Amino acid sequence: MRTPSSRPRPTPSRPPLSSRPLDTDKLYTARLQAVRARPYLASALFALHVVESESVPTMAVDGYWRCYVSPGFVERTPVEELAGVWVHEVSHLLRDHHGRGDRVARARGLEGAGERLRMNIAADLEINDDIYGDGLVRPSGAVTPAGLRLREGLLMEEYLREFQLGPSTAEFVWLDCGSGADGRARGWDLGPDGADGLTEQQRDAVRFRVAEAVKGAPGDAPEGWKRWAETAFHPPQPWLELLGAALRSAVSGAGAGQDYSYGRPARRASSLPGVVLPSLRRRPPRVAVVIDTSGSVSDAELGSALLEVAAITRAVGGRRDLVTVVSCDAAARVAHPLCRAEDIPLIGGGGTDLRAGFTTALRTRPDVVVALTDGQTPWPPQPPCRTVVGLFPRTGRGRWRETDPTYVPEAPPGWAKVVEIG
C-alpha cells in the first residue's frame, strides 16, 4: 500500500527504521471496522496471519496468507484508512493475483522487477476500482484507473496492456503489496515452510467460504465481488477448444463418422475361422452451419468463430460437398467472403428467425447442425440430428420487441450442446 505523496517517500530498499512496537490494537480495530463494512470478507480477513516486519514499506501479503505489517505505517495511518488497506490486501489473495501474475509472466514473457511492479500496479487497479466506498475509505495515494487515465472495471491482465511505466506511474515505483500481489518473492517472505502459512486446500476453503458469503448477500456485495464469486471456482473456459471438442464429439458420435459395423466382415476375419468380427467403416458426416448474421453479432465475433468451424469441418470431413453454410440474414457480410475462401457453398436464408435457418439447413439432411448465434431468437423444436450451438454472450443489452416490452428471448434449448463463445 502507499502513503500520501506529500509525505517523504520511503525508498524501496530501506524504509525508515522504527524501534516502536507494532500497535496491534489499532491494527485490529481497523480489521474490525473492515469486517463490519464488508461482512462477507470476514473469514478471509480473520484468516490472515499478521507478521510484524520492519523491512516492509507499508503492508504486504504473501501467497500463504501472511500479512506483513510495518509498525511505522500503522502508527502514521488513520484507522479508517487502515481498514481500507486490510480489504485491499486480502483482495489480492482472494483474486489470486500471485498465481495470475505468474501465469501472465509465463504467457507474455514478462520478466524482471519492472514488469512485476507493473503487475502490482495493474492488480491494484483491478482492486481499487470497486472495493472502496460504502463504509470504506480509499487510502490516500492509492493508484486508481482515473489517475492513470484508464477505463474502470478491467481485470489485471487487461490493465497490463493499457499502461507502461513512465512519468504517470513514477509516484508508485516504491509501491509494494508483496509477493501475494504479483508472484515475485520478497526478502521478508517466510516462504512455504514458514510458520502459520495456509496450505492450498485451506486457501481454497477460505476463498470458497467468501464466495458463498458473497452469493448469500447479493444485495450488499458490489458487482466486482459478485463476478469474482461466480468465477472463483469455475473459471471461464477457452471457448475455441470447447467449440472444437463439442463439434468433434458431435460428428464422431454414433450414427456418423467412423465406427464399427457388422455390415461387412472384417479383414481380420479370414485368419480367425469361426469367429465373427466387425469391421471398421468410415462415413464422413454432413455438417450444416447456421449463422445468425443479424446486426447484433459483430463481424469480428463471426469471423473468428466461423474460421474455427471451417478448420474443424476440414479436419473431420475433408469433403467440401458435405459442408453447408446457411446465413440467417440478408446481410451476410462476413460469412460470404469467408465461405468463398474455404470453398463452402453458401445457401441464403431469410429473416433473423433461426427457425428458418434450421429449416433450410435440414433440407440438406445433415448429421450435425452447428448454429452460431447470440441466442436472441426463437428456437425450433428438436431437429432430427445432433446440434452444437456457439453462443455469443449478451448480458443486459438484449434485443427488444417494440410491440411487447416484456418480451424475453428464449434461451438455447436443452437438446443442443451449448458453448459460450468469447
Partner 1 sequence: MPENTQLSLADDLLALLSDTTTEPRPDQQLEALTLAVAADLPVLLWGEPGIGKTAALNQLAESLELPLTTVIASVHEPSDFAGLPVVGDDPAVQGVPMAPPDWAVRLVRAGRGLLFLDELSTAPPAVQAALLRLVLERRIGALRLPPGVRIVAAANPRSSAADGWELSAPLANRFVHLQWVHDHDVVVRGLGGTWPRASLPVLDPGKLAGSVEYARRAVCGLLAVRPKLVHQMPSAETRRGGAWASPRSWDMALRLVAFATAAGASREVLSMLVRGTVGDGPGLELLACVDRLDLPDPESVLADPANAELPTRGDLRQAVLDGVVEAVRSRPTRARWDSAWAVLVHALETGAPDLVVVPASTLASLRREEWDVPVEIERLAGVVALSRGADRAAAKVRAGAGS
Interaction residues for partner 1, span 246-285 (CB under 8 A): 246-250, 252-254, 258-260, 266, 272, 274-278, 280
From the list 389, 422, 231, 421, the residue with the least C-alpha distance to 410 is: 389
Question: Hey, which residues between 168 and 197 contact partner 1 (CB under 8 A)?
Answer: 196
Nearest distance, CB of residue 270 and partner 1, angstroms:
15
Q: Is the dihedral of CA 118, 121, 123, 126 positive or negative?
A: negative
Residue 327: Cβ within 10 Å count: 26
From 199-207, 290-298, 339-347, 367-375, give the range in contact with partner 1 by CB under 8 A. 199-207
Which of residues 110, 137, 155, 173 is near partner 1 by CB under 8 A?
137
Nearest distance, CB of residue 80 and partner 1, angstroms:
4
Cβ 186 vs Cβ 120: under 8 Å:
no
Question: Hey, which residues between 348 and 387 contact partner 1 (CB under 8 A)?
Answer: none
Asked if 298 is part of the footprint of partner 1 (rule: CB under 8 A), the reply reads no
Asked if 409 is part of the footprint of partner 1 (rule: CB under 8 A), the reply reads no
Question: Hey, which residues between 95 and 114 contact partner 1 (CB under 8 A)?
Answer: none
From the list 362, 394, 365, 403, the residue with the least C-alpha distance to 380 is: 362
The site for partner 1, by CB under 8 A, has a size of 72
Q: Which is nearer to partner 1, 49 or 118 (CB)?
A: 49
Cβ 370 vs Cβ 309: under 8 Å:
yes
Asked if 209 is part of the footprint of partner 1 (rule: CB under 8 A), the reply reads yes
Nearest distance, CB of residue 46 and partner 1, angstroms:
3
Asked if 133 is part of the footprint of partner 1 (rule: CB under 8 A), the reply reads yes
Q: Which is nearer to partner 1, 162 or 220 (CB)?
A: 220
Q: Which is nearer to partner 1, 259 or 342 (CB)?
A: 259
Nearest distance, CB of residue 190 and partner 1, angstroms:
15
Asked if 83 is part of the footprint of partner 1 (rule: CB under 8 A), the reply reads yes
Helix (H) or strand (E) holding 290: strand 287-291
Q: Which is nearer to partner 1, 268 or 340 (CB)?
A: 268
Q: Which is nearer to partner 1, 335 or 419 (CB)?
A: 419
Question: Hey, which residues between 12 and 41 contact partner 1 (CB under 8 A)?
Answer: 24-26, 28-33, 35-37
Q: Cell numbers at residue 55, please?
A: 523491512
For the stretch 224-240, what's the b/e string if a residue is b when 16 or more beta carbons lie within 10 angstroms of its beta carbon?
bbbebbeebeeeeeebb
Q: What's phi and psi for 42, nearest 5 deg?
A: -55, -50
State the Cα–Cα distance between residues 238 and 365, nearest whole angstrom. 31
Mind spelling out the 3-state secondary structure of 97-129?
HHHHHHHHHHHHCCCCHHHHHHHHHHHHHHHHC
Q: Which is nearer to partner 1, 98 or 118 (CB)?
A: 98
The CA-based diameter of the chain, rounded to the nearest angstrom, is: 94
Question: Hey, which residues between 41 and 80 contact partner 1 (CB under 8 A)?
Answer: 42-50, 78-80
Q: Which is nearer to partner 1, 118 or 386 (CB)?
A: 386
Q: Which is nearer to partner 1, 36 or 161 (CB)?
A: 36
Which of residues 242, 325, 328, 369 is near partner 1 by CB under 8 A?
242
Query: How far, CA to CA in Å, does 237 sit from each of 33, 226, 240, 420?
Result: 37, 18, 9, 9
Q: What's phi and psi for 377, nearest 5 deg?
A: -155, 155
| Beta strands 49-52; 368-373: pairing state | unpaired
Nearest distance, CB of residue 130 and partner 1, angstroms:
16
Q: Which is nearer to partner 1, 278 or 303 (CB)?
A: 278
